[in-house]
Structure 1
Amino acid sequence: MSDTHEEAHTGPIKNPKQLLVTVLFSFVLPIFAIIGLVMFVTSGNKPAEGGANPEKAVAERIQKVGMVEVRDANRPLRPGEEVFKGQCAACHATGAAGAPKLGDAAAWAPRIQQGFATLVQSALKGKGAMAPQGGGEFDDTEIARGVAYLANSAGAKFAEPDRPGAAPAAAGASAPAAPASGG
């Protein structure tokens, strides 16, 4: 009776060879697997994601977050109507999100009374449901021209602004010196 009882308490390892195999699979094999994974992760010769050009893949991973776009400051300013069609028409043509429609004098009257500078600042910085319009395809002066076009369609008499620091072309050319008339 003691033989069956003693046999029930023995483990699956019955000889030294089984012990050696168990130690090998339990400890040594996972260590080699970990070393292999570490070497793969730290090596520089990994296959590129989605292509055979590793230089392109590296360039995509390390590209700059922001880009600087240098615009030609000497290009002619676009007229207010073009700015309206490109930037403002999506909301101001339909009245989306409470935007005053093009030519709606009643909706524009209280805004026009605030003055041109206030309207331009509202357009550039955003107001209510309107997102800021500055920094996009059009520069700030062109956005101001679009504001003048919108307000003028509702009865305002705002002049489309020119670039800051630019000499007005009409003033210099239209005022030649008059000859003195002597009797």
Structure 2
Amino acid sequence: MKWKQVLAVFAGVAVAGSVMAMSVDMSREAIAERIKPTAKVRLAGDEVAQANGAAQEGERSGEAVYNQACAACHTSGVLNAPRKGNADDWEERIAKGMDTLLEHSINGFNAMPPRGTCMNCSDDEILAAIEYMIEDI
């Protein structure tokens, strides 16, 4: 007797599920909405991503590049990185000329990796970041 009751419950659930499925909107738009990704993955060097997650529109300012890629080392002087706005740290480097500073920033120098890890920064954006770091000197 109990088997019949169990089968009746399963049958009721199956019928209820069928009725619910028939009431679901099956239009292309509704299906696309239900299956759209819930998140996006952004990788380092992604040319569309910025630190704030907004789409990149044109060239970034020196401050934006600094905040995104340079601040981690150039704020505290990690591995002897010259600190932003610190004349003593920059004096010897500036004496070599802006062309040398830019070349070292683009190609890497000592502990600094190429482009300071900002692989999607243009040469002009790298230059703007250097100028931003030394503007108060």
TM-score by length of 2: 0.55
Q: C-alpha distance in 2, partners of 1:92/1:144? A: 15
Equivalent residues of 1:81, 1:149 under 8 A apart: yes
- Which residue in 2 is equivalent to 1:97? 79
Larger radius of gyration: 1
Which structure features the higher share of helix residues? 2
After TM superposition, the runs of 4+ consecutive aligned structure 1 residues lying more than 3 A away are: none
Identity %: 35
Q: C-alpha distance in 2, partners of 1:70/1:89? A: 20
Is there any run of 5+ residues in structure 2 with no aligned partner, and where? 1-45, 49-56
Indicate which of 117, 126, 136 corresponds to 1:143: 126
- Which residue in 1 is equivalent to 2:31? none
Q: C-alpha distance in 1, partners of 2:105/2:75? A: 16
Superposition pairs of residues 40-51 of structure 1, within 5 angstroms? none
Q: Does 1:121 align with 2:121?
A: no
Q: C-alpha distance in 2, partners of 1:110/1:70? A: 33
The code of the aligned residue for 2:124 comes to: T
Deviation per residue, 1:31-61 (Å, 9 max, x gap):
xxxxxxxxxxxxxxxxxxxxxxxxxxxxxxx
- How much is the aligned-residue C-alpha RMSD, in angstroms? 2.2
Shift of residue 132, structure 1, vs aligned partner? 0.4
- Which residue in 2 is equivalent to 1:79? 61
Indicate which of 65, 82, 93 corresponds to 1:111: 93
Is there any run of 5+ residues in structure 1 with no aligned partner, and where? 1-68, 156-183
Shift of residue 148, structure 1, vs aligned partner? 1.1
Q: C-alpha distance in 1, partners of 2:94/2:119? A: 24
Equivalent residues of 2:47, 2:120 under 8 A apart: no
Count of residue correspondences: 84
Superposition pairs of residues 1-183 of structure 1, within 5 angstroms? 75-133=57-115, 136-153=119-136, 155=137
